[in-house]
Every structure is written in structure tokens, then in C-alpha cells.
Amino acid sequence: MPGFNERLGAVLAQRRRDDLYRQRLTLESSQGPRVRVDGREYLNFCSNDYLGLAAHPQVVAALRAGAERYGVGSGASHLVCGHSTPHRELEEALAELTGRPRALLFSSGYAANTGTLTTLLQSGDQVFQDRLNHASLLDGGLHSGARFRRFAHNNVTDLEHKIIAAPPDSAKLVVVDGVFSMDGDTAPLADLAALCQQHNAWLMVDDAHGIGVMGEGGAGSVTAAGLDSAQAPVLMATLGKALGCAGAFVAGDELLIESLIQGARNYIYTTAMPPAVAAAGLAAVRLLATEAWRREHLQQLIGRFRAGAEALGLPLMDSDSAIQPLQIGDAGRAMAFSAALRQAGFLVGAIRPPTVPAGTSRLRITLTAAHTDAEVDALLSVLADVAGEQL
């Protein structure tokens, strides 16, 4: 019987052989279009700080002021005595942003998704998930006790077949990413909502990559699709991407939110996020309204990048979001491409299995409102050089 040392060692060795070993960078600067790693400055095209708010002076000032007033640790879970004024104010602002009666903060998106799915679902229910959904949605669905079915990516017809094949009297939940995190494409939310209404199913949307960026006022992809809380009853989004902070929330009707407060173990049995982080989140939400130019500039950069990449014949994917992956295929080649870009002073992540299906490794380029036209042009020019050698 081999011990843990042998087993763990064998797994890591296999990962190295498969070009799937992952290593962390250590940033020596704040998040932004230029970051410092090992004493060298890089142009950064791999963060999810889509609006450039992670180091925004007003967000930093709100964090500082929040810490001075409320201290650092929240000291307890929300239900004991860790819930404070900044949490309440941020929840109200997020409910208003998403046009829903209420919102509930979680400490992370992972916790929000697993907590929501395990609270909503029980054995005998049916949960239908797009096969490219985020890992936290898949994990929550698998742990929920419901019958778990995956449908082909963005394929409403496949979903319909699976719904029709399910027991008609079972409770049904359809779960999708609003914007898919590794592909950058958007879910056909209006069609999904119509199908759900037809079959009396609920729709849950994870808008981690749409909130702040898409829709009127940055309200996200659900608003952009024109859906209200009757059509998409469960809306989850994170504060750690376009909003530049940390944590996540679920927005919906009173009944949903109260059920999560009373029942979600990931909400109940965890320390509340630091109140100062909630204060920073509130500042970020306000910037969505006062600095709308960030969304517009980002859209313009997306168009600029796609036009340039298309002219160069680069393997663009079908995305109009800030996530602009280049499909490479082989994990080793994606790694080599990313390493060559790094050598040239550009950080672009190589995304490999198991994050994406085998044979679809890619460079995940992300654009942010903090990038300039010139920086995007510099990326295109280095991509052209490296593609000449690598592709």
C-alpha cells in the first residue's frame, strides 16, 4: 500500500510530463496594466481587473477609510455579529445595480455558487449545466444531491432535449455562466430564459465576467439580455473581477435571499468579509456610474484588438467580451507561446486542462480599461512576431 508521499509525488511528476504543472507568479506591484515580477516590468494581459479598478485611488481610499472606522477583521460570521454597515450598504447598492429586490454578500464567488446550489437543490431535483460552466458551479451541482446533467456548450436544443427527458414533476434548475470565463463568449440568455419559462424551470446565471462591463450602467449580461428576476431568478456575480475588490453576491427576490441567509452553509459558517473590503466594493460600484468611460474605452480596445488580430490571421475565438483567447490546442505549445511572450515583456496566461477540455489549450488574453491603444498595439505586434516562430 503506497503512502501519501509516493502518491502525491507520482501525480506531480505526471503533471510535469504532461505540461500541466502550474507555477505562481509573485507580483511586486499593484494589479494594473504594468506589473512588476522578479524586478522586471511586464505589460499585463492576464488579469480580470477589466475596468482597472483594483488600484483605483477612490477604491483604495475607501478601503483605508473603512479600515480606520471599522478595523480590519469582521470578527464573526454575518449571523453572529460580523455584519456591519458597509456590508448592508454594499448589498443595497448591488440590489439597485442589478434591479433586484435584494442582494447577499458572500466571501468568494466559489462560496456563493456552491452555497446557493446546495441550498436550492435537493435529491430528486434536476440541475442542468453548460459543460463549460465554472468549476464552482459544477462542484456545487455535484454536491447538491440533485441529478446532474451537462448540456453541450450554448446549445439550447440539447438542453431542451435533456429537460424533456427529465421527470416532468421534478424541480429543475438551469445554470450557466453569463460570459464564459475561458472562452469569452456569452450565453444565449434570452433563449435560455424562454425555455426555462416553458418548462417551469429556474435559470441561474453566474455573471462573474459580465458584471460591471456589460449592460446598462454595468449591470451585467442578465440586464443586457433584458431579463428580470422572474425570468432569471438567481443572479450571482463577483466583486473580484471588474469591480476590483474581493467577494461575491447573489441577487434575487426576498424569498431566495432569506433562504440563503437561513440555509447556505457557506454563508452561515464563515467569517464575514472585512467591512473595509465592503466599503471599497461600494466605491467601485459607484465608479460604474461616475466613470462610464471605462466601459466605453474597454469596448473600443476589444474592437481594436480583434480587428488587429484578424488582420494578422491569429486564431481568435468567438468572443466580444474582454476575454480574447487565442486557441492553440496543444498544452506544450501554449506554454511555449506564453513563455516567448513573457521573454518579450508580456504576461499572457496559458490555460490548459483541466481548466479547459484536452486539446483546446489557449492563450487567455484579457483587456482592461486601464490599457492604452498603444499597449494593445504593442501586444498585437509581439503576437505577430511570436506567432511567426511558434504557430
251 in Cβ contact with 95 (< 8 Å)? yes
User: Residue 311 to residues 285, 316, 379: CA-CA distances in angstroms?
Assistant: 36, 11, 14
Cα–Cα distance, 67 to 135 (Å, whole number): 33
What span, in angstroms and rounded, lies between the C-alpha atoms of 302 and 299?
Answer: 5
143 is known to lie in a ligand binding site: no
For the CB of residue 108, give the shortest distance to ligand PLP in the complex, in Å: 4
- CA neighbours within 13 Å on the CB side: how many for 169? 0
Structure-derived torsion over alpha carbons of residues 25, 31, 36, 37, reported in degrees to the nearest 10: 0
Is the Cβ of residue 125 or residue 207 nearer to ligand PLP in the bound state? Answer: 207
One of 78, 87, 162, 241 is an active-site residue; which one? 241
CA dihedral 44, 49, 52, 53 (to 10 degrees): -140
Least Cβ distance, residue 278 to ligand PLP (angstroms) = 14
Pairing, β 40-44 against β 34-37? antiparallel
Which ranges constitute the DSSP H helices of 199-242? 221-224
Say if residue 199 carries a ligand binding annotation. Answer: no
Which residue has the closest beta carbon to ligand PLP?
A: 109
CB 343 within 8 A of CB 327: no
* Residue 209 appears among annotated catalytic residues: yes
Q: Indicate which residue of 56, 162, 209, 297 is catalytic.
A: 209
Catalytic, out of 181, 229, 319, 361: 181
Q: Is 209 annotated as a binding residue?
A: yes
What CA–CA distance (Å, rounded) separates 89 from 282?
A: 7
Among candidate residues 146, 227, 219, the one with its CA nearest the CA of residue 192: 227
Q: Which of 177, 186, 181 is nearest to 325 (CA)?
A: 181
Q: Name which of 181 and 375 has its Cβ closer to ligand PLP.
A: 181
C-beta closer to ligand PLP: residue 116 or 238:
238
Q: In angstroms, give the least distance from the CB of 178 to ligand PLP.
A: 8
Q: Is 181 among the annotated ligand-binding positions?
A: yes
Which grid coordinates are listed for 270? 464563515
Distance CA 279, CA 52 (A): 17
Any idea which residue has 471588474 for its cell?
Answer: 242
Cα–Cα distances (Å) from 159 to 104, 121, 154, 225, in that order, read: 29, 18, 9, 19
Q: Which is nearer to ligand PLP, 271 or 300 (CB)?
A: 271
Q: Give me the residues that bind ligand PLP (CB under 6 A), please.
A: 108-110, 113, 134, 136, 177, 181, 206, 208-209, 238, 240, 248
The answer to whether the CB of 240 falls within 8 A of the CB of 248 is yes
Catalytic (active site) residue 241: yes
- Which residue in this structure is represented by grid cell 425570468? 231
For residue 303, how many C-alpha atoms fall within 13 Å in the half-sphere facing its CB? 6
Nearer to ligand PLP, 109 or 252 (CB): 109
Least gap, CB of 94 to ligand PLP (angstroms)? 14
- Closer CB to ligand PLP, residue 220 or residue 382? 220
Closer to ligand PLP by Cβ: residue 209 or 297? 209
Instruction: Confirm or deny that 24 is annotated as ligand binding.
Output: no
> Taking the complex as a whole, how short is the minimal distance between the CB of residue 103 and ligand PLP, in angstroms?
15
Q: How far is the CB of 133 from ligand PLP (least distance, A)?
A: 8
Judge whether 110 is annotated as a binding position: yes
Task: Give the nearest distance from C-beta 240 to ligand PLP in angstroms.
Answer: 5
Known catalytic residue at 172: no
Alpha-carbon gap, residue 135 to 133, rounded angstroms: 6
Active site residues per annotation: 181, 209, 241
Q: Which residues are annotated as a binding site for pyridoxal 5'-phosphate?
A: 109-110, 181, 209, 238
Write out the binding residues. 22, 109-110, 134, 181, 209, 238, 355
Which residues participate in the annotated binding site for substrate?
22, 134, 355
